[in-house]
Amino acid sequence: MEHDSDSFAALFSQSEEKTLRKLSPGQKIKATVVGIDKETVFLDVGTKSEGIVEASEFIDENGELSISPGDQVEVYCLKSGAGGQIFTAKLGSGASSAHLEEAYHNSVPVQGFVKAEIKGGFEITLSGNVRGFCPFSQMGLRRVENAAETYLETHMSFLITKFEAGGRNIVLSARLLQEEERQLKKEELQEVLEEGQSIEGSISAIRPFGLFVDIGGIDGLVPISEVGWSRVENLEDTYSVGQQVQTVVKGLDWENDRISLSIKETLEDPWEAAVKNLSEGKAYVGNVARLAQFGAFVTLAPGVDGLVHISKLGGGRRINHPKEVLEAGQNLEVIIEAIDPANKRISLIPSDYVSLEDEEEKERREYKDYRSNRTGSKKEAAKDSMGSFGALLKSKLEEKK
């Protein structure tokens, strides 16, 4: 009897909890499927009475019901009152069009099919034959290059932002819903994400200044300088949208929604290995990677560049820009003038470079040689002259005898 009394008390307690729980239209909850008939799914929603949702909302692409009793589902409350409790998973193609106005008032997501591109946006089909409109600016969180190619003939989730004329004028926004979802993801990530953490993501967009990477509903930016150890001119040559990449969190600015990421820090630093094989004073053949106003960067090994200052170019002739004597992509023989391991810098000079000091020393040597040769010539000339005079005098004396 004591066991029965305990069981009854537990059941009564559960009943009390259900009676006390109140649901508001638009509220999102987890519910348990307790029964299914031909057109209706019955849900345990934590209240005294059961909730109902149309079975058509759970039909998969093969026309089969995707749930069974005991499954948990996420649903939104549409109506809660004496007339019953009506729920929806996401209103749209499979749901009744009569619920669309309730979805508008309660900010419940609806599913739609992007049917056609029209002036200013897209025509969206809801509930099979209800027409809605979504402006270009409300189709996503960011602008895409080819909106028609990206969105046409796809199923998407929207919020109804305007419902007029009995449903003949419906305006939608996918962006508002995505922003809500992103905010939830942001709050989740704030609990676990830290600087220095390694995290995998998917490239969501490629821009000239870097890569946007989705790391779980939130985008972080990999600046072009953090993509790799070597300079990258065109990111699209190496990366593609949807590609999985490993990154390291460089910075977190939650207030301004900025997450800085680095791919470079997941890669081995090529400097450490390459610098062991490079020596000051030795000549190497490198490739001119890029030209700047102050000089030319020459790649000696993958990820390792040295700088030839503009003052060392031109073969002694003053130039205004390295492009006057070099072009990107050409091979150039250089000599390592200095290696700065602490700052990872290498100073280079062309192998045929002659410094001003060397040039002056060369001129001094040439002048010294010239003077030396000239003095020697005079002595020889004097000696020859004296020899000739002596011979002439000797000849005259012999004649007198």
Query: Domain range holding 215?
Result: 195-266
CA 188 to centroid of chain Cα atoms: 21
323 in any annotated domain:
yes
397 in any annotated domain:
no
The residue length of the chain stands at 401
Q: What pLDDT, on the 0 to 100 scale, is given for residue 47?
A: 79
CATH of the domain at 77: 2.40.50.140
The Cα–Cα gap between 32 and 42 comes to 9
* CA proximity to 84, closest of 127, 53, 106, 38: 53
Contacts of residue 213, defined as CB under 8 A and 6 or more positions apart, other chains included, come to 201, 202, 203, 204, 219, 220, 221, 222, 245, 247, 261
Q: What pLDDT, on the 0 to 100 scale, is given for residue 392?
A: 61
Per-residue confidence of the chain (401 residues) as pLDDT tens digits?
A: 444 445 545 544 444 444 445 677 777 888 999 998 878 889 988 877 788 888 888 887 787 888 889 999 988 887 776 667 888 776 655 445 567 888 888 788 888 999 999 999 999 998 767 889 999 999 998 888 789 999 999 999 899 999 987 778 999 999 998 888 888 888 888 888 999 999 999 998 899 999 999 998 889 999 998 998 877 878 988 899 899 999 999 999 988 889 999 999 998 888 877 778 888 889 999 999 889 999 999 998 888 899 999 988 887 788 899 998 899 889 999 999 998 888 888 999 998 887 655 555 555 666 666 666 665 555 565 555 555 555 666 666 666 55
In this structure, the answer to whether residues 199 and 262 fall within a common structural domain is yes
The Cα–Cα gap between 55 and 65 comes to 8
Q: In total, how many domains does the chain have?
A: 4
Assigned token pair, 117? 């591109």
400 in any annotated domain:
no
Q: What pLDDT, on the 0 to 100 scale, is given for residue 347?
A: 92
167 in any annotated domain:
yes
The Cα–Cα gap between 378 and 385 comes to 10
CA 380 to centroid of chain Cα atoms: 81
Q: Which amino acid is at 325?
A: V
* CA proximity to 43, closest of 61, 60, 57: 57
CA 202 to centroid of chain Cα atoms: 9
Q: What pLDDT, on the 0 to 100 scale, is given for residue 308?
A: 92
β-pairing, 345-350 vs 304-309, is parallel
In this structure, the answer to whether residues 294 and 275 fall within a common structural domain is yes
In this structure, the answer to whether residues 108 and 53 fall within a common structural domain is no
| Span between the terminal Cα atoms of the chain, in Å | 173
In this structure, the answer to whether residues 238 and 254 fall within a common structural domain is yes
Q: What pLDDT, on the 0 to 100 scale, is given for residue 11?
A: 43
In the listed set 236, 266, 296, which residue is the last one of a domain according to the structure?
A: 266
183 in any annotated domain:
no
In the listed set 250, 266, 282, which residue is the last one of a domain according to the structure?
A: 266
Q: What pLDDT, on the 0 to 100 scale, is given for residue 191?
A: 87
372 in any annotated domain:
no
The Cα–Cα gap between 147 and 136 comes to 8
In the listed set 233, 266, 299, which residue is the last one of a domain according to the structure?
A: 266
pTM of the complete model beyond 0.85: no
CA 308, 312, 318, 324 torsion-angle sign: negative
Assigned token pair, 223? 């600046």
331 in any annotated domain:
yes
Contact predicate 334/286, CB 8 Å:
yes
160 in any annotated domain:
yes
In this structure, the answer to whether residues 204 and 234 fall within a common structural domain is yes
In this structure, the answer to whether residues 132 and 77 fall within a common structural domain is no
